Amino acid sequence: MSRIGVVTFPGSLDDRDAQRAIRLSGAEPVALWHDDADLHGVDAVVLPGGFSYGDYLRCGAIARFSPAMMSIVDAANAGLPVLGICNGFQILCEAHLLPGALTRNQHLHFRNRDQWLRVEQTDTAWTNAYQPGEEILIPVKNGEGCYVADPATLEELETTGRVVFRYLRGNPNGSQHDIAGVRNAAGNVVGLMPHPEHAVEALTGPSTDGLGLFTAVLAHLGAAVPAAGRDRR
């Protein structure tokens, strides 16, 4: 069974939800602590949503210096699959594993709603379970979710196919180019602002569309995906 680590920082909010999503996908969740550089031999890592270190300085700016992140940066550069969700996306950008930055929502309000996304790229460790152009419904909840980058970086992301998710039917935070998630060049690191871990069960989410990110990494790792994990609808 594949083992997927979930890092808990001071102020993490959705680490237990990410662990449950991993368990539902058919993998074993492994709790990782921000102050421990040992990744305990996990096959992939999820950086969950929340407010690491109270979002002081900038969201994710302090978390990027944690011992766990130092190990994750090295492992990601060597090919370890890493998924950053909301605050995790912010941390990946601060750690320079992904380009750009997440800033205050343009309307200056916290936004919490179910959000339609279009899957733009399916050749990553975390999106191979989807079809190109597939539309999925996943909750979004953020106050600093506006994705920005300089014009050259935006052009590179678009021309090289590194925009992974794009907002549909309304942009909740003013992100440039309606960008909801991006990937690194290798495709093993993906970050997105919406919360797939909150769309894995029909009882509690607006859909089960988010489960595909977690089953996708199992397929990438060569692990068997249980039937229940394959059926997202």
Residue 110: pLDDT band with limits 50, 70, 90:
confident
The pLDDT of residue 230 is 46
Token pair 């941390």 in the structure block, residue: 91
HSE of 69, CA atoms in CB hemisphere, 13 A: 24
87 neighbors 145 (Cβ within 8 angstroms): no
Tokens standing for residue 162: 């590194």
Segment 114-134 mean pLDDT: 97
The pLDDT of residue 108 is 86
The Cβ of residue 103 has, within 10 Å, a number of other Cβ atoms equal to 17
167: CB partners within 8 A, 6+ apart: 115, 116, 117, 175, 178, 179, 180
Residues labelled catalytic: 86, 195, 197
The pLDDT of residue 228 is 44
HSE of 78, CA atoms in CB hemisphere, 13 A: 8
Whether the per-residue pLDDT at 223 is higher than 70: the answer is no
The pLDDT of residue 233 is 44
Digit-coded pLDDT (tens) for 50-108: 888 777 777 788 888 999 999 999 999 999 999 999 999 999 999 999 999 999 898 98
Residue 187 class from Cβ within 10 Å (0-12 exposed, 13-18 middle, 19+ buried)? Answer: buried
The pLDDT of residue 232 is 52
Residue 139: pLDDT band with limits 50, 70, 90:
very high
25 neighbors 214 (Cβ within 8 angstroms): yes
Residue 224: pLDDT band with limits 50, 70, 90:
low
Taking the C-alpha atoms of residue 35 and residue 59, their distance in angstroms, rounded to an integer, is 18
**Class of the CATH domain delimited by 3-224:** alpha beta
Share of the chain above pLDDT 90, in %: 82
Segment 199-227 mean pLDDT: 89
Residue 226: pLDDT band with limits 50, 70, 90:
low
Dihedral (C-alpha) 148, 9, 167, 182: value to the nearest 10 degrees? 60
Whether the per-residue pLDDT at 214 is higher than 60: the answer is yes
Domain ranges of the chain: 3-224
